Amino acid sequence: MNLTLKVWRQKNSKSAGKLVDYQVSDISPDMSFLEMFDVLNEQLINKGEEPIVFDHDCREGICGMCSMFINGRPHGPKQGITTCQLHMRSFKDGDTIVVEPWRAAAFPVIKDLATDRSSFDRIIAAGGFISVNTGNAQDANALPIPKSQADAAFEAAACIACGACVATCKNASAMLFVSAKISQLALLPQGQPERYRRVQSMVAQMDAEGFGNCTNTRACEAECPKGISLENIARMNRDYYAAKFVSEEEV
């Protein structure tokens, strides 16, 4: 396969970037999108040019690091996958592919296609945890949990914090991510003592990071590689109202 790539090149967070054209040839349709970038980078290094910086780690779709916005969609044209799981057979010979970094005020570009997603870490640090005392692990059967609830918590916990929801949202809203992280704990008994404190702290941190506001277009749900449901956002909203208008606990 021969392809034309239009890749966002940006020296650092302060400089302005631009799309640069690259030609790649003899690309195998069985390569992953990231492997195609490895080939391109090798070409660039051999020519003495600076390689393109892009985030990647596990390359098996579970770490959430790879983050390219490909032809106007996060992780490219397929649903339910990350960029490392996207294969070149999803494109046609001679295609032009536009590759950009995630775009959000809260995800500043570090260099080229790599963005700083530590705003997500700060949201988790604000309350996305449970406080437990150390000691022996409890008996697993001491806390009965309905199957449907355990499943819903597990589905919310599938979020890999890649940021595709923010990237594709027309408002750069992080509500799908935050609601998944709130729901995975709010649905389980261990999450109850801090439930209403957690939702207030995490939403406050989300707002402080400069993410936009959800307008329910459902784009995040459609693009999420882990299929996180919009029901989580509704649950977060319910918990937030309960926390702010019913609970006496203030954050």
Partner 1 sequence: MSSFGKAFSSSIGKKVVMGITGLFLILFLIVHCFLNSLIFLNDGGETFNLGAEFMAGNWAIRAGEIVLFIGLILHIVQSARLTYDNQKARPVKYAAYNGSANSKWYSRSMGLLGTLLLIFLVVHLSNFWVVSRFTGIPTHDANNRENLYAVMVESFQNIWIVVLYVLSMISLCYHLLHGFASAFQTMGWNHKKYAPVIKSVGVWYSIIISVLFAAMPIAIYTGLIN
Taking CA atoms, 186 is separated from 15, 39, 191, 240, in Å, by 42, 45, 5, 12
* Window of 33-41, 45-53, 153-161, 171-179 that interacts with partner 1 by CB under 8 A: 171-179
* Cβ nearer to partner 1, comparing 138 with 213: 213
Burial, 101: exposed, middle or buried (Cβ in 10 Å; 0-12, 13-18, 19+)? buried
Q: Is 68 in the site for partner 1 (CB under 8 A)?
A: no
* Cβ nearer to partner 1, comparing 17 with 191: 17
Q: Is 12 in the site for partner 1 (CB under 8 A)?
A: no
Q: Is 43 in the site for partner 1 (CB under 8 A)?
A: no
Whole-number Å distance between alpha carbons of 251 and 249: 7
Q: Is 170 in the site for partner 1 (CB under 8 A)?
A: yes
* Window of 24-32, 87-95, 187-195, 240-248 that interacts with partner 1 by CB under 8 A: 240-248
* Cβ nearer to partner 1, comparing 133 with 148: 148
Q: Is 110 in the site for partner 1 (CB under 8 A)?
A: no
* Cβ nearer to partner 1, comparing 197 with 218: 218
Q: Is 162 in the site for partner 1 (CB under 8 A)?
A: no
Answer yes or no: are the C-beta atoms of 30 and 8 closer than 8 Å. Answer: no
Q: Is 210 in the site for partner 1 (CB under 8 A)?
A: yes
> Considering the complex, what minimum distance in angstroms separates the CB of residue 29 from partner 1?
22
Which residues lie near partner 1 (CB under 8 A)?
Answer: 6, 8, 19, 69, 71-73, 77, 98, 100, 103-106, 168, 170-173, 175, 203-204, 206-207, 210-219, 222-223, 230-231, 233-238, 240-241, 244-245, 250
